Amino acid sequence: MHGEEGGLFLQRLVSPLNWLLVEFFSFAGNRRKRENFRSTEMGNAWCLLCGCVDQASIGIVERWGRFEKLAEPGLHFFNPLAGQCLAGILSTRINSLDVRIETKTKDNVFVQLLCSIQYRVVKENADDAFYELANPKEQIQAYVFDVVRALVPRMTLDELFEQKGEVAKAVLEELEKVMGAYGYSIEHILMVDIIPDASVRKAMNEINAAQRLQLASVYKGEAEKVLQVKKAEADAEAKYLGGVGVARQRQAITDGLRENILNFSHKVEGTSAKEVMDLIMITQYFDTIKDLGSSSKNTTVFIPHGPGHVRDVGEQIRNGLMEAASAQVNVE
């Protein structure tokens, strides 16, 4: 009886040791558990009896290989004799995943879209994130590819640039619906860049440059038009003012001649207005010749001149005035 009790005591003593050895080698041979511990943040000290969970992290506690509870940040003690251990630790910080997608638009332009997804583990559902998905990044990337390649081919390149926010919103809605079931929260999705093919970018730049040159030509033409109009208006105004000046000059000359004729007729008896007019015309003729002779310009004018020529000039002027008066009467 004593020997049976001793054997039972040894069996009870060895059983926990066997379990500890089994757990140790199970952990050493379990690649997933090792990866979970390697993927946690630094400072997560652990052993079979206790474990430390960092701030912004959540621990997964198992009992005999089955999920038992979540461990909040801090120091936790475990009972290995009861099969309790810290299976892994997940970070609840925001992670960023950049996805590059190549697709084609509605107008047959191949583009590359760079999408940045910011996601995190939901504390309350950390067990789902730990057990359900082996590689959440690949899962997120697959859904991003699916949504973008279904939506972008229905847009032209210009519409894609204008509505890239709508594309990001559609991806966000799909990922929230799918990844929420696995314990992940999608915080933000940013459509960082849209990169068309190099030849398309070159063509777009040339089109933009041509449009700007065309607009510049329009503005230049409008400016030249305004300049010509203003120049014509100024020329017309100058001619008008010149005409007014000539008319006033001639009116002044006429008034002066009339006054001279009247004064000469009253002061010199026996002279008629015609004789006075002839005398004035001859005087103006000599004044004109004087001006031509004293001009500084190199101009040569051949004028027949002699004693009898003065009379001829007077006759020609008189005849010209008479013909002009006759023509005016006929017109009236």
- Identify the H or E element spanning 69: strand 66-71
Specify the amino acid at residue 151: L
- Give the pair of three-digit tokens for residue 266: 């009253």
103, 114 Cβ separation under 8 angstroms? no
* Residue 61 Rama label (left phi>0; alpha psi -120 to 50; beta): beta
CA gap 303, 50 in Å, rounded: 133
Compute how many other C-beta atoms are within 10 angstroms of the C-beta atom of residue 137.
13
Number of residues that make up the chain: 332
Task: List, in order of start, the domains of the chain with CATH numbers.
Answer: 50-91 (no CATH), 95-196 (3.30.479.30)
C-alpha dihedral sign at 236, 239, 245, 248 = negative
pTM for the whole structure: 0.51
Tell me, what's the pLDDT at 7?
A: 43
- Give the pair of three-digit tokens for residue 169: 């919103």
CA gap 8, 3 in Å, rounded: 9
- Identify the H or E element spanning 184: strand 184-196
Measured at the CA of 165, the angle between CA 164 and CA 166, to 5 degrees, comes to: 90
Compute how many other C-beta atoms are within 10 angstroms of the C-beta atom of residue 203.
13
Helices (H), the chain: 2-29, 31-38, 126-131, 136-151, 157-162, 164-179, 198-267, 273-294, 307-331
Tell me, what's the pLDDT at 22?
A: 46
156, 170 Cβ separation under 8 angstroms? no
Tell me, what's the pLDDT at 221?
A: 85
44, 37 Cβ separation under 8 angstroms? yes
Angle, nearest 10°, between helix axes 164-179 and 136-151?
140
Rg value, the chain, Cα: 55
CA gap 136, 90 in Å, rounded: 12
Tens of pLDDT, residue by residue, the chain (332 residues): 444 444 444 444 444 444 454 454 444 444 444 444 434 433 344 456 778 888 889 999 989 889 999 989 988 888 888 888 888 889 999 999 999 999 888 888 888 899 999 999 999 989 899 998 888 899 899 999 999 988 999 988 888 888 888 889 989 988 988 898 899 999 999 888 888 887 777 777 788 778 888 888 888 888 888 888 888 888 888 888 888 887 887 777 777 767 776 776 666 666 666 666 666 777 777 777 777 667 666 566 666 665 556 566 666 666 665 665 566 556 55
CA gap 59, 69 in Å, rounded: 9
Q: What end-to-end distance do the CA atoms of the chain give, in Å?
A: 166
Name 184's Cβ contacts closer than 8 Å, sequence gap at least 6: 119, 120, 121, 122, 129, 133, 136, 140
Ordered DSSP codes for 84-126: EEEEEEEE-S-EEEEEEEEEE-TTS-EEEEEEEEEEEE-GGGH
